[in-house]
Amino acid sequence: MRTFGDDALAEVRDDISGTMTRIESSVFAEYASGAHCRWCRHNGLPCAASAVVDTEPDA
């Protein structure tokens, strides 16, 4: 069984808390295109036309 120290757990907790805060305050109008867009099903976003090249996951 793997165990984690208090410092490691606090770091992960802070990362998760920050992510959840960003999610809570985000709106659909905000987006960031990037490599992850090739798996995105939100084809209506303005970034879709230029960023989505390959919609098939790597085999």
Domain boundaries, the chain: 6-51
**Other C-beta atoms within 10 Å of 52: how many?**
17
Torsion of CA 21, 22, 25, 26, to 10 degrees: -160
pTM: 0.44
pLDDT tens-digit readout, 22-41: 888 877 667 677 777 777 77
Q: Measuring CA to CA, which residue among 28, 24, 58 is closest to residue 46?
A: 28
- State how far the Cα of 54 lies from the Cα of 6, in Å rounded to an integer: 42
Residue 51 has pLDDT above 50, yes or no: no
